Chain A
Amino acid sequence: MSSFEIALLGIGMLLVLLVIRVPVAVAMITVGVGGYVSLSGWGALLNYAKTSVYYAFSNYDLSVVPMFLLMSQFASKAGLSRALFQAANTFLGHWRGGVAMAAVGGCAGFGAICGSSLATAATMGQVALPELKRYNYSGALATGALAAGGTLGILIPPSVVLVIFAIAVEANIVTMFQAALVPGLLAALGYLIAISIYVRLKPEAGPVGRRAGKGERIAALVETWPVILIFAVVIGGIYMGVFTPTEGAAFGAFGTAVIAFWRGGLRLDGFLDCVKGAAVSSGMIFMILMGADFFNAFLGFSRMPLELADWIGASGLAPIAILMLMLLIYLLLGCVMDSLAMILLTVPIFWPVIAGLDFGMPEGDLKMWFGIIVLIVVEVGLITPPVGLNVFVINSMAPGVRLKETFIGVLPFLASDAIRVLLLILFPAFTLWLPHLLK
């Protein structure tokens, strides 16, 4: 059996293991180990395993992950979500569907200090859902807006998933974060437009809220200063090269912790909860990284990704068709799989293929363009059936709204996502403008 065939067999077995509910990390290690042994023997594997996990974990770029997770935990306890929602509401509330728009705006603001989608959805949901109910918004629009708005947590930097993508393709995390900003803002804008079209078709779903005066608006905006300050320091500092992403994340975690103690009433037991939460999410991510380390060692040995890239490059298929095929695979995988696991599993195979095709841009730009598109497409998995985690979380917080209603409520936002992905594919400038400007 050629090594190419062994690699294909390995991928097949991996899928079988995933189907029988073996955790992604365990399945990747098992197949990685099996493939490694069949290609280079037990001795090599046992030797590799002596230090490989240490080296996989002691990577300076990766240390940004636990810190951003800690930051997300503190941010959700800092009591900032109410201020963000109120501020957005004073500006948008008097429009038709305005309170739902304010929920999306709040999510965008929260996403600027939080790198996690579920945390963003859940934190904003606590504040915004009761308000949406008070203004008689339909359950579908209220929960749909928040479930979709939650994905802004990952699209707007900082973003843990983007860090993992950057490490997987050996891209610069700083330029990746720069590339994410405009598409992230575009996402927020697209969601606002989706709401305004939706309420035009169904006016009863999103009644007009209260109009706020100018003074009230300014006062509400001032209340959000900790968010603005933390975002400016962390993301601004990373963009301008004042410090590394890890140092920025440290400032972010420290800053949100201070705010959480000072304004959010965080005490020792709350602090322990934050630490526990960050520990569980970090453990989960690093388990998958450990799996990816073994799985990629196996794939690398088999040379399958390179041969596949050569083969596809020589096949004469249009690059854009191959890109579309990959995005379709992400959409399908996203229905059943976690976004991070999906990226670590597919990027070692997909990236060499993309890098080998001619999209008319240098490799550095290609990494950003492809990365941001993949980021959006894998995030769609969080709001599509059957396992849209954001949908489940928001739905469980809204008693009396059926799950089906939330999935229907998400549809306008999915349409907005689809349009945005097409725009970003057709106009790479959306993604590349800011990194080129700051270079």
Chain B
Amino acid sequence: MAETDIELARPADPVGRALLFCSYGLAVAGGFLMAAITVMTVASVLGRYLFSAPISGDFELVTMGTAISVFLFLPYCHLRRGNVVVDLFLAWAPRKVQTFFDGVSGLLLAVIAGTLAWRMVVGGFDMHQYNEVSYILALPIWPVFPVAVLALGLLSASCLYTAARDFREITR
């Protein structure tokens, strides 16, 4: 599989730096959450076999924790150009053509992520209103939504930024 991992040149402008800084912060937070879930799972399994005392609802914590951390990964992934593209047909096209379509994709993703953020605001309120909770621990589901909205909002902003940069590069 393609772990396309091309280092983004450190943006010179303050907007780009701020976006990268925030995305990086979210990604690292998500990573530590992921590590915490890992340790919790190990502890729960050991507890189950050694002391017949698993962490109750570990399954739910893993599921919700993974969802949160994955949302937190998304903006950083975009800024690091981690998204998979089919790089063949345009590989021989002039650089400007490639950059133009990168800009178009950025705009598309900005619209998608923005719309999703808006819908998940509504979804979060629904979850809160209907008092949706997990089965075992009765944890409320809605707190995942503000995190997702924050991450999707930042993803949308990052996409606008990279799209603007791509279009500026063409006109230069």
Residue numbers of A with Cβ under 8 A of B are 18-26, 29-30, 33, 46, 49-51, 53-54, 57-60, 62-63, 66-67, 70, 116-119, 154, 160-161, 242-243, 246-247, 250-251, 253-254, 272, 275-288, 335-341, 386-387, 389
- Overall SS of chain B's interface: helix
Interface size grouping (class) on chain B: 35 or more
Taking CB as reference atom, which chain A residue is nearest B125?
A: A50
Shortest CB–CB separation between residue B143 and chain A, in angstroms?
11
| Cα-based distance from A63 to B28 in the complex (angstroms) | 17
Asked if B148 is at the interface (CB within 8 A of a chain A CB), the reply is yes
| A26 and B2 contact, Cβ closer than 8 Å, known pairs A50-B119, A70-B35 | no
| Cα-based distance from A277 to B98 in the complex (angstroms) | 26
Q: Which of B5, B80, B112, B145 contacts A26 (CB 8 A)?
A: B112
Q: Indicate if the CB atoms of B85 and A23 lie closer than 8 Å.
A: yes
5 contacts across the A-B interface (CB closer than 8 A)? A51-B126, A58-B64, A247-B41, A247-B42, A283-B70
Asked if B22 is at the interface (CB within 8 A of a chain A CB), the reply is no
Shortest CB–CB separation between residue A195 and chain B, in angstroms?
25
The 7 A-B pairs of least Cβ separation, nearest first, read A283-B77, A275-B31, A50-B123, A250-B41, A283-B73, A23-B83, A63-B66
| A20 and B28 contact, Cβ closer than 8 Å, known pairs A247-B45, A279-B76 | no
Q: Chain A residues near B91: list those with CB within 8 A.
A: 386
Q: Indicate if the CB atoms of A118 and B31 lie closer than 8 Å.
A: no
Residue numbers of B with Cβ under 8 A of A are 1-5, 27-28, 30-32, 34-35, 37-39, 41-42, 44-45, 49, 59, 62-67, 69-74, 76-78, 80, 82-91, 98, 101-102, 104-105, 108-109, 112, 115-116, 119-120, 122-123, 126-127, 141, 144-145, 148
Contacts beyond the supplied A19-B86, A70-B38: 17 A-B pairs with Cβ under 8 Å = A19-B90, A21-B90, A22-B101, A26-B109, A49-B119, A60-B62, A62-B66, A118-B2, A242-B49, A243-B45, A250-B39, A279-B31, A280-B82, A281-B1, A283-B76, A284-B83, A284-B84
Taking CB as reference atom, which chain B residue is nearest A72?
A: B3
Shortest CB–CB separation between residue B130 and chain A, in angstroms?
11
Q: Indicate if the CB atoms of B144 and A58 lie closer than 8 Å.
A: yes
| Cα-based distance from A198 to B24 in the complex (angstroms) | 47
Shortest CB–CB separation between residue B77 and chain A, in angstroms?
3
Q: Which of B67, B77, B87, B102 contacts A57 (CB 8 A)?
A: B67
Q: Which of B42, B101, B119 contacts A21 (CB 8 A)?
A: B101
Shortest CB–CB separation between residue B120 and chain A, in angstroms?
7
Q: Chain B residues near A62: list those with CB within 8 A.
A: 66
| Cα-based distance from A42 to B40 in the complex (angstroms) | 42
Q: Indicate if the CB atoms of A286 and B70 lie closer than 8 Å.
A: yes
| Cα-based distance from A246 to B171 in the complex (angstroms) | 49
| A277 and B63 contact, Cβ closer than 8 Å, known pairs A22-B108, A30-B112 | no
Q: Chain B residues near A250: list those with CB within 8 A.
A: 37-39, 41-42, 45
| Cα-based distance from A344 to B37 in the complex (angstroms) | 26
| Cα-based distance from A278 to B82 in the complex (angstroms) | 11
Q: Chain A residues near B70: list those with CB within 8 A.
A: 57, 66, 282-283, 286
Q: Indicate if the CB atoms of B66 and A21 lie closer than 8 Å.
A: no
| Cα-based distance from A387 to B90 in the complex (angstroms) | 13
Q: Indicate if the CB atoms of A23 and B109 lie closer than 8 Å.
A: yes
Taking CB as reference atom, which chain B residue is nearest A250?
A: B41
| A57 and B42 contact, Cβ closer than 8 Å, known pairs A26-B108, A49-B116, A386-B88 | no
